[in-house]
A = this chain, B = another copy of it.
Amino acid sequence: MSETEQEFLKNYNSADYQKPSVAVDLVLFTIRDNQLQVLLTKRQAHPFAGMFALPGVFVGMDETLDQAAQRALYQKTGLQDIYFEQLYTWGDLNRDPRMRIISVSYYALIPADQIRMPKREQSQNQDAAFFPVEQLPELAFDHAEIIRYGRERIRNKVNYTDIAFSLVGEEFTLPQLQKIYEILLGQELYKANFRKKIADQIVPTDKMLSGMRHRPSRIYQKLKINP
């Protein structure tokens, strides 16, 4: 902060100045039906009544941004211990027609088996449901762009981090894991190469997943110890 700023602050009475509101919006991703899906809630009130939007909360004075995101996640899904990460902060002047709101977006990756929320088509209450990112309804605010941005972030990080593992449970087969990589990347991968690449991140169990009418696949776990 420059000297100008410091001078300013010396005489700065926090209440005297208008401030923007700060919110946190969540992009909750999961994979269902072999598609990347995102949680949306239907707006009842103006503005954008009837349209869908990302879940969000205002940031309290007594909580950090991460805590606000965690709280929102818990309120909307009941989930904790989910991988989440800050995405981007959106500050256009008229994002929200009511007032100046700066939104700090986060994304989270939720394993399908932890979700108790119904799919859009099956939902009685159409208020909150997962939608495939490729077939989103009309979205309120700048939320379509936020989702697009989140999708892009994931596509990048998949290649040099292990975030894809956040979308499977404790145990998984390699065909399952590969499918997740393919959905996140938006392209197919070669079986043999994929296995070589993740070989040092996984540990085989002695269990097999059978019951299909073909050869069963081995069940693996993520390697936990420091690599």
Residues in chain A within 8 A of chain B (CB atoms): 1-10, 14, 17-23, 25, 41, 43-45, 53-59, 61-66, 68, 75-76, 86, 88-93, 98-100, 102, 104, 127-128, 140, 156, 160
Contact = CB atoms under 8 A, between A and B. Distances in A.
A90 B93 CA distance: 20
B93 A56 contact: no
Which residue among A17, A89, A90, A160 has the maximum number of chain B CB atoms within 10 Å of its CB? A89
B2 A23 contact: no
A69 to B, nearest CB: 10
A21 B19 contact: yes
- Report the 9 A-B pairs with minimum CB-CB distance, sorted nearest first: A65-B91, A6-B45, A19-B19, A89-B89, A1-B56, A18-B61, A89-B104, A64-B91, A2-B41
A45 B7 contact: yes
Contacts of A53: 1
A164 B5 CA distance: 31
B58 A5 contact: yes
A9 B75 CA distance: 17
A1 B55 contact: yes
A3 B49 CA distance: 10
23 contacts: A1-B55, A2-B56, A2-B76, A3-B41, A5-B56, A5-B58, A6-B44, A9-B98, A14-B21, A19-B20, A19-B22, A20-B22, A20-B61, A22-B22, A59-B91, A61-B100, A64-B93, A65-B90, A65-B91, A86-B88, A86-B89, A89-B104, A156-B160
Contacts of A93: 62-64
